[in-house]
């Protein structure tokens, strides 16, 4: 007897996937993305209060911490993808959230810039596991015709998470200081609130994420063969393009997440604002870009399910190029007149991200989806590593807008490449 197809709103689900599985996935997505981004708020606050790091070094230190974090992610993310193919998404997701929570327990214990690295490496293990599983699960649950809709729903959930946790993180310093806590104690409190939420979500994931691999059996290949599968997949022109799209799209995300908050905070301090107030204004800019991504997500979901996803990827890359170029050329990020540019940046960044997510799920085989998406995520981590390492130095040595212009160059290349691949496919079909 055939199982009845279930739906989550307009999203048609694979057999064995229930609406509860999707609801838990979207909640976990919201919390994960929110607290992946929260590290930038926490780190900026600690550098300016507890550690007293000079402004002239904060861009480089932020970039270097990001580089070492991404080295750890590159080392772990592919392994987590392969492990999820052999066991279950549930176990890897819960483990990742536990590591993410643990990082916020130890982060405020830092007494020097080098100590921040210890917490950041624990954080990186959590990020590797959680973000890889989110990318895998968003493609495990829907039927092909609904893939774009669930990608969009995931984007909305993650956008809400980034916005809500961003607002929470920006408001917590004022909340605790206003109730008599010192700035030093506030650094502890805001991180430990984050740790508690992450660990509670790990328990929810352990109970509510689909226990198996929908639509496929666990992979029988060993880790070496699984790694080879991820590499061999790059023989496809589309997969090669998508590996680069992960590189560019994740670079977009880290530049927006790391340097908008840092740039806005330093600009506020230069204007005479207290650190807690400046951080609140800076966080608002990031929330604006996240809000734009949130509003834009349903439109991308419709586009991805009704039009050629490769062309939508090219469109997303063009929008990202325009958005990052516009922000990179401004002088004062706290000027109310430039706020619409942060909305434009959010639309461009999210468009590129959603399209690459939908396409990799379409192209990756279900039984080895974790291995291929692990390789895809590793390429994204390399993009973040370069964005952090080079971007931090450009921020300090040239101008705060320079990292945004660097990313604009990468997304321009992605747009050209996507169009070239599509034209090549049309030429093959016509011959």
Domain of residue 323, CATH code: 1.20.1250.20
Whether the CB-CB separation of 40 and 58 falls below 8 Å is answered with no
Instruction: Name the stretches of the chain with pLDDT < 70.
Output: 1-5, 214-230, 367, 431
Structure tokens at 339: 């706020």
In angstroms, how far is the first alpha carbon of the chain from the final one? 44
- Does the residue 100 lie in any domain? yes
CA distance linking residue 363 with residue 372, whole number of Å: 9
Q: At how many degrees (to 10) do helices 339-363 and 275-306 cross?
A: 40
Residue 420's SS3 state is helix
- Is 5 part of a structural domain of the chain? no
User: Do the domain assignments include residue 396?
Assistant: yes
What is the spatial distance between Cα 212 and Cα 90, in angstroms, rounded to a whole number?
8
Does 7 reside within a domain? no
417 touches 248 (CB < 8 A): no
- Give percent of the chain with pLDDT exceeding 90: 22
The enclosing H or E element of 217 equals none
Q: How many whole angstroms from its chain centre is CA 223? A: 26
- 211 touches 89 (CB < 8 A): no
Per the structure, the complete domain to which residue 289 belongs is given by 13-425
Residue 295 tokens read as 């509003």
Number of structural domains the chain divides into: 1
A 10 A CB-CB count for 335 gives 11
Supply the pTM of this predicted model: 0.74
On the CB side of 328, how many CA atoms lie within 13 Å of its CA?
20
Residue 2 has a pLDDT of 46
- The whole-number pLDDT of residue 289 equals 84
Beta bridge partners of 11: 8
pLDDT of residue 21: 93
User: Residue 3 domain-assigned?
Assistant: no
How high is the pLDDT of residue 1?
Answer: 38
**Is 430 within a domain?**
no
Q: Tokens in use for 98?
A: 């536990």
3-state secondary structure of 307: coil
Structural domain includes residue 284? yes
Q: What is the pLDDT of residue 97?
A: 97
- pLDDT score for 221: 53
| DSSP count for the chain of H helices, then E strands | 14, 2
> Across-strand partners of 13?
142
- Residue 126 included in any domain: yes
11 — phi, psi (to 5°)?
Answer: -90, 120
Q: SS3 for 393?
A: helix
CA–CA gap between residue 217 and residue 214 (Å, rounded): 8
């Amino acid at each position: 007897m055939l199982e009845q197809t279930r739906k989550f709103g307009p999203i048609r689900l694979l057999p064995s996937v229930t609406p509860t599985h999707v609801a838990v996935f979207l909640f976990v997505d919201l919390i994960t993305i929110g607290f992946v981004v929260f590290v930038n708020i926490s780190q900026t606050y600690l550098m300016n209060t507890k550690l007293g790091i000079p402004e002239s070094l904060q861009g480089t230190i932020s970039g270097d911490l990001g580089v070492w974090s991404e080295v750890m992610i590159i080392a772990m993310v592919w392994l987590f993808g392969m492990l999820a193919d052999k066991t279950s998404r549930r176990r890897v997701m819960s483990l990742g959230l536990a590591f993410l929570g643990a990082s916020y327990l130890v982060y405020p214990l830092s007494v020097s810039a080098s100590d921040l690295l210890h917490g950041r490496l624990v954080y990186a293990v959590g990020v590797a596991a959680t973000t890889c599983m989110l990318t895998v699960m968003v493609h495990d649950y829907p039927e092909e015709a609904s893939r774009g809709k669930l990608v969009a729903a995931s984007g909305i959930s993650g956008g809400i998470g980034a916005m809500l946790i961003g607002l929470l993180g920006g408001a917590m310093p004022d909340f605790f200081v206003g109730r008599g806590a010192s700035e030093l104690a506030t650094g502890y409190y805001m991180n430990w609130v984050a740790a508690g939420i992450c660990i509670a979500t790990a328990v929810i994931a352990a109970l509510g994420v689909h226990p198996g691999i929908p639509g496929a059996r666990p992979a029988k290949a060993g880790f070496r063969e699984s790694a080879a599968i991820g590499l061999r997949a790059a023989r496809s022109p589309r997969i090669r393009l998508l590996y680069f799209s992960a590189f560019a799209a994740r670079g977009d995300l880290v530049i927006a997440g790391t340097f908008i908050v840092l740039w806005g905070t330093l600009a506020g301090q230069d204007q005479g604002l207290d650190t807690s107030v400046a951080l609140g204004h800076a966080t608002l800019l990031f929330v604006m870009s996240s809000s734009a991504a949130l509003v834009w997500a349903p439109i991308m979901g419709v586009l991805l399910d009704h039009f050629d996803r490769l062309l939508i990827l090219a469109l997303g890359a063009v929008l990202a190029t325009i958005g990052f170029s516009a922000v990179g050329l401004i002088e004062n990020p706290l000027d109310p007149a430039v706020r619409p540019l942060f909305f434009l940046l959010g639309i461009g960044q999210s468009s590129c991200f959603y399209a690459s997510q939908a396409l990799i799920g379409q192209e990756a085989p279900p039984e080895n989806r974790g291995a291929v998406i692990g390789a895809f995520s590793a390429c994204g981590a390399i993009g973040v590593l370069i964005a952090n390492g080079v971007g931090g130095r450009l921020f300090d040595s040239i101008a705060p807008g320079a990292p945004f212009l660097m990313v604009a160059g990468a997304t321009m290349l992605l747009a050209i490449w996507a169009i070239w691949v599509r034209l090549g496919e049309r030429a093959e079909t016509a011959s």
